[in-house]
Amino acid sequence: GLGSIIPNCHHLPFIEDSELQERFIKNINMSGATCARVFLDDTYGKFEQKLGDYNPKSIDKITELSKRIPLVVDLFDAFYLLHADYDNPGFSRSRLNSPYLVQKGGKSIREQQLAIFLDKEIRSKLMYRFWVASSALRNSPFIKAICVGNEVNIRSRDRKYDRALHTDFYEEAVDTIHSAGWNGPIMLGIDDPNLVDEDIFAKKQNQVINTLHAYPWSSSYRIREYKQRKNHPIPLGVQEVGMPKEDYEVSSADYDVECSRFILATVWKLSQTDQNGVKPLISHIGPWRVSADGDFHQDNYEINFRDMPQTLSALVNGVRPLLENPNYLPNSVSWFPLL
């Protein structure tokens, strides 16, 4: 199975230093996780640096790593296509850079970004990428789930329009991955579960898992909206949960405590029966971002369990029993001092 804890180590397959890679895996194992989430991306993985030109070595590195630790694989990372050019807490904005940011007919950046949803040609190329990657991964016994992509979502001021846009896109993506012969679970990878109509995905042949990326500035309203739904027909994975270190530079112990509190509070809020008498099925939680000594990727969200005993305890003694045992009742010793 997937397990209740799936740490995020997006660049792990593409770390050339075998000793550093092993330190990552040991850190993952400390949490009791049985698999990790990685990206088939175009930054570290260099899978598709030119539109339609795929690098098979990127997939080889993922399948080789999966023999050492089972994986959930995102088929695309939309950060440098959709999100890099605005201020992200914890790290500064950077230049947009993606093979899917195609200049067509003098379109604005916003129009170029929307092309993966609205432009038939660009969208079909992305769907073909999903098909190619899924076909290559489908026979690996250690790939436990496929995720459409990391945060392939964009927002307007029209919530109803956004939901229709993303539901349509993700339905085609799920169908494409299934058509490539993948019969395992499919995660959406969207940062807000309210951007899709879950009823559509409950009818799919694959198990589809909706996703939430929970950070201090966005999780409360996303959870509140999600809990107002009349039903939850598919599981929800808290695919990312974390907070930036920048406010806790004085003491790493402070960061450890605050991070553990935020993780527990997020899972606790989601796991409670809502006002409609419905208790959401939370499939797993993914700390963002498990790191290790010598990690060359620095984004101010590093979690090194060796130095963060409170966060490790929150996952092992709080999150795991809550998600794995439906009758579990948190006791005051393990939970409420942290909340």
DSSP designation for 208: E
Give dist(CA 108, CA 127) in Å, integer.
23
Contact in structure between 39 and 77 (CB atoms under 8 Å) = yes
Q: Which pLDDT score, from 0 to 100, does residue 339 have?
A: 47
Q: What is the DSSP track for 209-275?
A: EEEEEE-TTTHHHHHHHHHTSS---S-EEEEEE---SGGG-S-HHHHHHHHHHHHHHHHHHHHS--T
Q: Cβ of 215: how many Cβ atoms within 10 Å?
A: 20
Q: Which pLDDT score, from 0 to 100, does residue 333 have?
A: 47
3-class state of residue 147 by DSSP: strand
Encode the chain (339 residues) as per-residue pLDDT tens digits: 789 999 999 999 999 999 999 999 999 999 999 999 999 999 999 999 999 999 999 999 999 999 999 999 999 999 999 998 887 666 667 889 999 998 776 678 899 999 999 999 999 999 999 999 999 999 999 999 999 999 999 999 999 999 999 999 999 999 999 999 999 999 999 999 999 999 999 999 999 999 999 999 999 999 999 999 888 999 999 999 999 987 655 467 789 999 999 999 999 889 888 777 888 899 999 999 999 999 999 888 999 999 999 999 999 999 998 888 867 766 544 555 444
Give dist(CA 32, CA 247) in Å, integer.
28
CA atoms within 13 A on the CB side of 166: 27
Give dist(CA 189, CA 209) in Å, integer.
9
Is beta strand 186-187 parallel, antiparallel or unpaired with respect to 282-287? unpaired
Contact in structure between 312 and 31 (CB atoms under 8 Å) = yes
Using alpha carbons only, give the angle 148, 74, 155 rounded to the nearest 5 degrees: 55
Q: Which of 64, 1, 42, 58 lies closest to 237, judged by CA?
A: 1
Give dist(CA 170, CA 193) in Å, integer.
12
pLDDT tens per residue, range 77-97:
999 999 988 876 666 678 899
Contact in structure between 239 and 189 (CB atoms under 8 Å) = yes
Q: Which pLDDT score, from 0 to 100, does residue 276 have?
A: 76
Give dist(CA 253, CA 249) in Å, integer.
10
Give dist(CA 113, CA 122) in Å, integer.
10
Give dist(CA 76, CA 55) in Å, integer.
13
Which alpha helices (H) appear in the chain, and where do they start and end?
18-30, 56-66, 109-118, 120-137, 159-179, 198-202, 219-227, 252-271, 309-313, 320-324
Q: Which of 156, 221, 176, 157 lies closest to 194, judged by CA?
A: 221
pTM beyond 0.75: the answer is yes
Q: Cβ of 293: how many Cβ atoms within 10 Å?
A: 12
Give dist(CA 186, CA 55) in Å, integer.
23
Longest dimension (CA), the chain: 62
Give dist(CA 239, CA 210) in Å, integer.
9
Q: Which pLDDT score, from 0 to 100, does residue 221 have?
A: 94
Q: Cβ of 30: how many Cβ atoms within 10 Å?
A: 16
229 to each of 2, 69, 233, 269, how far by Cα in Å? 26, 36, 10, 15
